[in-house]
Amino acid sequence: MVATHPPLEDARRAVRWIVCRSCAFRPHQSELLGPEEPRACEPGCQVFLNMPRIMEMVATTADKSMVTYERIMRDRVCAKCQSSETSGDYCGERSVAHCPLSMYARDVVSVIERLPKK
pTM for the predicted model, two decimal places: 0.82
Q: How confident is the model at residue 4 (pLDDT cuts 50, 70, 90)?
A: low
Residue-wise pLDDT for 41-60, tens only, equals 999 999 999 999 999 999 98
Q: What is the per-residue pLDDT for 78?
A: 79
Distance, CA of 98 to CA of 67 (rounded, Å)? 20
d(CA 62, CA 70): 14
The better pLDDT of the pair 79, 36 is held by 36
Q: CA-to-CA distance for 62 and 26, rounded, in angstroms?
A: 32
CB-based contact 41:21 (threshold 8 Å)? no
CA distance 25 to 21: 10
Other CB atoms within 10 A of residue 113 CB:
13
| pLDDT tens-place string over residues 83-108 | 666 555 555 444 545 788 888 989 99
Q: What rounded mean pLDDT belongs to the chain?
A: 84
Residue type, 110: S
pLDDT at 12: 97
Distance of CA 65 to the CA centre of its chain: 16
The answer to whether residues 116 and 11 touch, using CB atoms and an 8 Å cutoff, is: no
